[in-house]
Amino acid sequence: MTATKLYRRDEADAVTACALDDIVLLYHPRSGQTHMVISPVPEILDQLADGGPASVAQIHDRLARSFDLGPADDAMAEIAAHLDALVALGLVRPA
């Protein structure tokens, strides 16, 4: 049986967000970098705001309460790809 991969966000103050219309700027003080992101990245990060670990399926289920995500398999693949990119940027970490 394969273990479910979990993701977690660093403390809430680890990233400062500033929304500019459809673009959100994320300042990451630890790296000194500012990242420009668009939907669904801010929404994915919001689902991890409590600091607890969550799987792709859990994040999908949370987002599906507010958004029409289309076919679950496609949406979960997209969420997983965004999470992997956020891990590479240091904004999210595996739990």
Residues 64-78 have pLDDT tens digits of 999 999 999 999 999
Q: What is the DSSP string of 43-76?
A: HHHHHTTT---EEHHHHHHHHHTTS---SHHHHH
What pairing do the DSSP bridges indicate for beta strands 16-20 and 54-55? unpaired
pLDDT string in tens for the chain (95-residue length): 346 899 999 776 689 999 999 999 999 998 899 999 999 999 999 999 988 999 999 999 999 999 999 999 999 999 999 999 999 998 999 99
Sorted by where each starts, the structural domains of the chain and their CATH numbers stand as 6-94 (1.10.10)
d(C-alpha 65, C-alpha 13), whole Å:
26
